[in-house]
Structure 1
Amino acid sequence: MHTPPFRLAQPSRLKLSGDDRAGTGLRAADACCTPAKAPPQPAAARRSRLSELDAHLHCSIIGTCLTTHELRKLVPKFTSLDRRDASDLDIHHYAVELATAGGAGAKALNKLLDEHYAGALRRFDDAADDVELLKLWDEALKSGDIPPAYWAVMTHRHATLPVRQKAFGDLHMLSHLVGAANRADIRRLVALEEENAALKEKIERQQSRLHELSVQRDASIAALHEQIAQLSAHAARQFPADAAGLAAETQRLRERLDDADQRVALHTSRREAAEQRVQQEQEAALTLRKRHDHALELLKLVQSECDALERATVDAAGATHGARRASLDSVQGKRIVYVGGRPNSNAALKRLVENAGGELLVHDGGVEDRKGLLAAALPGADIVVFPVDCVDHDSMNTLKRVCERHQIDYHPLRTASVASFVELMARLHPEHVAQLEQAPAPAFCLRHG
């Protein structure tokens, strides 16, 4: 262990009686400056007191764990020092001597330390051995809470000599680090003070310049105001009538300007309202145009279905006299699978196809027929037909997938009516395709009837 870089005051400076000096066992040498090499000691049953610690530890404990203000109030009670005139070093020396003497002064110092650091003492009492004690000390070093931990470690019942030596060494090195940091802070402080002085001088010069510019500006403004006043007075003296007329004309122009602004605002609001109505009417017209186009397309489709149904009816009537039914020639000898639809229409379609020489296989899409039969019925078909308004999506997706796999033509119908089916069969016949393309326009007018 290293001795302090200064020599403490001798115990003889204390005002102790002969009995007290004999009882405390003061040595002629300064205990704080004399290193001790005591053999390792077993763990004590209680915490150590300040006077029971090795004398060379008193300096570090008092200097670290107690402030000079606290010592200045306590040390003069047991010594002849003046509370106000004594230096901080004298206060520290006498406090170390009181701790070494072990009398009432040492008890007062011990009590003051215990009261200040009661929480740390309770926390460190949980340490069961010196290993846990050192662990708590290391945690205190990391957190920077050194004074409470140092007093708790030095007086702990498991504080052995190696433990106290480690704590003392850590504190000793920490004091070197603090000193180095303080020196660096002092250098930075000096540099900052120089920079601060330079900045203050620069600010003072700038403020002086700004003050001069402000004075010049105020003088210029005052001169301009005076010149304006002179010109106004001169104009009033020379042209009094014209000034009154100009004022009246200015007032009239202002009123007309206000009226024009009101009219502009009114016309602007009307224009915006008209633009909004035009936009709404354009949107409505676009909607009506789309509906009109859709109605025309639907009308054309319904007209073609009616034409096809009419030709089929005429052909069916001529068949009774042995005429040839050209409207359903496209189904002759073919196998057609019809998925979905309505029972009444499906029965009529089946009769029409069979009378035309074809075969119509009807599957209701899973209402009564099992859906598993649909995939088995499609591979042998020539044409697959399904009405989009009377078939479920699952069956429609299944027949599309199977038809694409087996390369079978499939055709959707607009409705499940007989007219839609007949129109599709007519479109599939080449001769009827030409007839439909060259058919004359209907005489019915959508606008006049």
Structure 2
Amino acid sequence: MNLLKRQSQRTKLHQLDDRFHCSLIGTCLTLKELRRLYRKLKFITKSPLTDHDLHRIFVGIAGETSYANRRLQKYIDEKYQRIIKQFSKVQSVDVLETLWQEALEKGEVAGVYWALVTHPDVTDALLNKAYGDIHMLSHLSGASVRVDMQELSILRRRTKVLEKEIADAFVESQSRLKEKDKIIHTLKSRLTSVEKVESQLEKIQTQRETLEKEPVIAQLRKEIKELFTKLSVEQERGKRMEKELEYWQSFALAYEERHLTLEQRLTQTLQECDALELSLSRVLSADCSKSCSVEQKKSCTNTDLCGRCILFVGGRTAQSKHFRHLVEQYNGRFIYHDGGREDGSFRLGSILSQADAVLCPLDCISHDAMNKIKRYCEHNTKQLVMMPRSSLSAFVKGLNVSLFWHDPCGVGRAVLQS
């Protein structure tokens, strides 16, 4: 273990190299916090400040030895007091590097970054590594947006394929329906003929009863036998026609159900595409997208969950990290439960009370977990959003539904107007 001689105290903000000021302000403070500090410092401006102007002002303050610098230092220290206290017990560079690596893997780097760069025992090599890692996170954010755009393009192409399939199925269904109508018409005609034959047979029966008293009874019995044979043949034909009619009716009904299913799937896919496209447009339309770091984008007020907790139950575990990234980018908190495969029922009961909204995919969740969630949400007036399947587009749609349900920041109204 690499142990260093302990210095007397942590490095002050203005004592840091100038290159760290921009990344510290962008990573450790949100735009809301910067605007609040700006008002408390009572700066006077003639025109409204853009997000970039605000960021640039505090980067400049970070390098000063002024009252504003001391207020800024105090605010950041108070915000990350717990993490600073944890780091104050560390005197090993190896442990510092391990703590930094764990923070990177969890995606929770803001407080750890501040505690690391101001730590009295940090080395230049570790400082350079941390600075480089923070820099690369901004590139990873841009790559994530490009991946989302590619997925949107795939969904659009898939939508066109589904539209063509539905159109073909509709044409085929109409053709089958016309064929069915012709068969029904033919069968009705044949049934009418059978009814006429039965009517004639009734008349013949009457005549037979009358003629039984006459000498020609033997000949009449022979004719009656022939007529009954014809009747049996026609009745058999009628039964076959009825069976054929039932077959074609069930065939037409099956195609109608398939047509309705495809229409529902298309509607659902279009809604999910719209939700995903709307979500991407919010990410891409932010004014600070070219100048702010990753943590600033997460706190952008363009789409804000206002710190609400989203619980996702079920689905595939590998997808949860993407859902977590999206929720945290919307300034929310994300909790995941696998629906009963490995996570127990006891843990589900303990985390339901933390959630503001619960999202569940219908295609990948146990019945026990679903029943428990429904009962809890009904008794506690919790929002429950049922997703048709576990996918990124369905999750984005479900997330937008949760925004309309509970809207303390006006986000749902803004989305509705757009």
Instruction: Please give the TM-score of this superposition, normalised by the length of structure 2.
Output: 0.40
Instruction: Please give the TM-score of this superposition, normalised by the length of structure 1.
Output: 0.38
Based on CA coordinates, which of the two structures has the bigger radius of gyration?
1
Q: Which has the higher contact order (CA 8 A, sep 6+)?
A: 2
